[in-house]
Amino acid sequence: MYQAANDRYEKMAYVRCGKSGLKLPAISLGLWHNFGDTGVYENMKEILFTAFDNGIVHFDLANNYGPAYGSAEKNFGKILKEELGVYRDELLISTKAGYDMWEGPYGNWGSRKYLLSSLDQSLKRMGLDYVDIFYHHRMDPETPLEETMGALASAVQSGKALYVGLSNYDGPTLEKAEAILRDLKCPFVINQNRYSIFDRTIEKNGLKDTAKKLEKGIIAFSPLAQGLLTDRYLKGIPEDSRIMTDGRFLNKSALTEEKLVKIRELNGLAAGRGQTLAEMALSWILKDGIVTSVLVGASKPEQVLDNIKAIQNTEFTEEELRKIDELSLV
């Protein structure tokens, strides 16, 4: 039976999520990849144990994480039941609904029926009475915002979620949603969005500034740009890389010679800071205190340990920041 390391809370920094009472680890673990039915169960356990032993208490899921849909929640629930469940009150568990999950008109987007049905299914798969954070996973251009936010509020009122979050929203829609949730007295605390040195969307669409103004947290996913901000591609494309085995999220066309030159220069800048490129990329996201936590994935326990090193140096000089912008902004 797994027993957590006694010194686990000495290894991680915890950051207040906006103006709420909730704190998140600076590094959180996402179960988007490697926890579905194509993953190795014993490896899943070792990744989770390594994360928790090093103070990562936040595990992030969604209804359709897999493959197959629902399988990441199911596997995580099995590990909770067998090993981690004794630590439930020390864990921050989140899930989401908003993308395609089941067939028919009620298995997608942002209707009240879909969101609350999906949450019930997620809780059943994980064997939980509640999740700590329940997110709407993406903006819905057709469902009234009042309906979607009302469903999130109902999730909290029913005791099935403690807090709510929004994922993949832009700044203007976030501001409208926040006003509705505030009127409903619903504890909306966090936004989850893609953010990296190579992807500045939340700077351009107003999300980062709006979250800061509203005193809401941000958790950033894809911080390594699907592996581009690592040393993995410095010498070309490995045969076992995601580009070669799964082109859904990172296409070979993204790795141009021009991009490789920039990656190599960023790697040199990281080395000058005493960091790997991946460590610097994670540190960069945390540099200004606006982003609460960085959401990382892992295919093996060693990657978790490597990612945690990023919290050791989040200070950047003006020249370093200028150089990073020069190499990444288009």
Q: Note the pLDDT of residue 263.
A: 95
Q: What are phi and psi of 9, to 5 degrees?
A: -85, -5
Higher pLDDT residue, 220 or 233? 220
pLDDT, residue 221, reads 98
Residue 229 is encoded by which pair of tokens? 């901000």
Strand ranges in 26-86 using DSSP code E only, listed in sequence order: 27-30, 58-60
Q: Give the number of other CB atoms < 10 A from CB of residue 76.
A: 24
* Closest of 169, 299, 277 to residue 225, by C-alpha: 277
What would the CATH number be for the domain defined by 8-227+279-313?
3.20.20.100
Place of tokens 């540190």: 283
* Cα 200 from Cα 33, distance rounded (Å): 23
Q: Scanning the structure block, which residue is given the tokens 């209707």?
A: 111
pLDDT of residue 246: 54
User: Quick one: pLDDT at residue 329?
Assistant: 83
Max Cα distance, the chain (Å):
54
pLDDT digits (tens, 9 = 90+) for 279-310: 999 999 999 999 999 999 999 999 999 999 99
In angstroms, the CA 169 to CA 202 distance is 9
Over 90: is that where the pLDDT of 324 sits?
yes
**Among 121-125, 217-221, 255-259, 292-296, whose mean pLDDT is lowest?**
255-259
pLDDT in tens, 38-89: 999 999 999 999 999 999 999 999 999 999 999 999 999 999 999 999 999 9
Q: Is a pLDDT exceeding 80 seen at residue 197?
A: yes
d(CA 303, CA 133): 25
Residue 53: enclosing H or E segment and its boundaries? Answer: helix 41-53
Do β-strands 14-16 and 131-136 pair in parallel, antiparallel, or remain unpaired?
A: unpaired
H or E segment and range at residue 308:
helix 301-308
pLDDT > 90? residue 233: no
- pLDDT tens track for 234-258: 876 666 555 545 555 566 667 788 8
* pTM of the full structure: 0.95
Matching residue, tokens 């909306």: 188
Q: For residue 244, what pLDDT is reported?
A: 43
Residue 323: how many other CB atoms lie within 10 Å: 17
Residue 159 burial by Cβ neighbours in a 10 Å radius (0-12, 13-18, 19+): exposed
Decide if 77 contacts 126 (C-beta within 8 A). yes
Is 50 exceeded by the pLDDT of residue 322?
A: yes
Distances 112 to 37, 75, 131, 143, 153 between C-alpha atoms, Å: 29, 27, 18, 9, 10
Residue 147 has pLDDT above 70, yes or no: yes
DSSP state of 81: I
From the list 85, 105, 27, the residue with the least C-alpha distance to 60 is 27
**Tell me, what's the pLDDT at 239?**
61
Cα→Cα distances 262→62, 129, 165, Å: 33, 47, 34
Q: Are 287 and 26 in contact (CB under 8 A)?
A: no
Average pLDDT, the chain: 95
Residue whose pair of structure tokens reads 């899921």 in the numeric block: 61
CA distances from 222 to 29, 92, 192, 195 (A): 11, 20, 11, 6
Element containing residue 136 per DSSP (H, E): strand 131-136
What is the dihedral sign for C-alpha 233, 235, 236, 242? negative
